[in-house]
């Protein structure tokens, strides 16, 4: 509601108005802030200073960007922890199978074949971890969406990319254990206690 100056002075006792507060509907503040100087002072709109609350969509995008960044860091930390776990399991497997490695080397297996075997094992562990993780993630998203009456939004590229990422992490995690296994000499490996 806008009052003419004479009505404001006569009925409300307002001589000089230097501040106006305008309540708006949610999401309309920016448009009202652009239009109110023209409506309040059409001849001298530039003389008015308008302070509008920040645009909620910008704040939402900022918060969403921060949350996405946090999840990205969390995912990277999980990949690193998974890689360390795969490397540790593969290294323990190598140490437990010293006799087998020595026997295979004595029967003519090359260093490359030994390294390939352990790389394949660690890559398979990573691939299986990616498949299980993607499947569990999809089940959780669909379950929470069903409980909250939301529409589940799943990105197929991420679901297909998780096993590939898991396999790559497994491959990288298996490099050191497979190199260690391939460097064993047959005679020393066969003499090692089982």
CA distance 10 to 80: 74
Beta strands (DSSP E) in the chain are none
Distance of CA 161 to the CA centre of its chain: 13
Could you tell me if 132 and 85 lie in one domain?
yes
CA distance 74 to 80: 10
User: Which range is least confidently modeled, 55-59, 70-74, 76-80?
Assistant: 55-59
CA distance 51 to 170: 55
CA distance 29 to 26: 7
- Residue 54 covered by a domain: no
DSSP states of 37-60 as a string? HHHH-TT-GGG-----PPPHHHHH
Could you tell me if 64 and 150 lie in one domain?
yes
pLDDT in tens, 85-105: 999 999 999 999 998 998 898
Could you tell me if 64 and 12 lie in one domain?
no
Write down the pLDDT at residue 123: 96
Residue 184 has pLDDT above 90, yes or no: no
Band (12; pLDDT cuts 50, 70, 90): confident
Q: What is the dihedral of CA 169, 175, 178, 179, to 10 degrees?
A: 180
CA distance 107 to 101: 10
CA distance 79 to 168: 10
Could you tell me if 16 and 67 lie in one domain?
no
- Residue 127 covered by a domain: yes
Read off the pTM: 0.67
CA distance 121 to 181: 13
Could you tell me if 96 and 154 lie in one domain?
yes
- Residue 53 covered by a domain: no
In contact, 85 and 122? CB cutoff 8 Å? no
Residue 53 has pLDDT above 70, yes or no: yes
Write down the pLDDT at residue 73: 95
In contact, 100 and 167? CB cutoff 8 Å? no
Could you tell me if 124 and 170 lie in one domain?
yes
Structural domain of residue 134, as residue ranges? 59-191
- Residue 76 covered by a domain: yes
As a whole-number percent, the residues of the chain with pLDDT over 90 amount to 51
CA distance 76 to 70: 10
CA distance 36 to 171: 63
Could you tell me if 43 and 120 lie in one domain?
no
Number of domains in the chain: 2
Residue 27 has pLDDT above 80, yes or no: no
């Amino acid at each position: 509601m806008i009052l003419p100056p004479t009505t404001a002075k006569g009925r409300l006792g307002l001589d000089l108005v230097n501040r106006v507060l305008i309540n708006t509907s949610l999401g309309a503040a920016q448009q009202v802030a652009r239009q109110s100087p023209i409506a309040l002072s059409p001849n001298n709109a530039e003389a008015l200073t308008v302070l509008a609350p920040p645009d909620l969509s910008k704040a939402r995008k900022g918060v969403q960007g921060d949350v996405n960044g946090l999840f990205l860091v969390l995912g990277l930390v999980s990949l690193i922890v998974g890689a360390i776990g795969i490397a540790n399991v593969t290294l323990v497997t190598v140490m437990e199978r010293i006799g087998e490695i020595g026997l295979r080397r004595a029967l003519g297996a090359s260093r490359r074949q030994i390294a390939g075997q352990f790389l394949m094992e660690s890559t398979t562990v990573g691939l299986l971890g990616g498949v299980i993780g993607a499947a569990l993630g999809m089940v959780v998203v669909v379950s929470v969406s069903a409980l909250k009456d939301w529409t589940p939004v799943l990105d197929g590229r991420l679901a297909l990319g998780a096993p590939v990422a898991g396999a790559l992490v497994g491959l990288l995690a298996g490099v050191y254990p497979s190199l260690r296994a391939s460097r064993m000499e047959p005679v020393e490996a066969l003499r090692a206690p089982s």
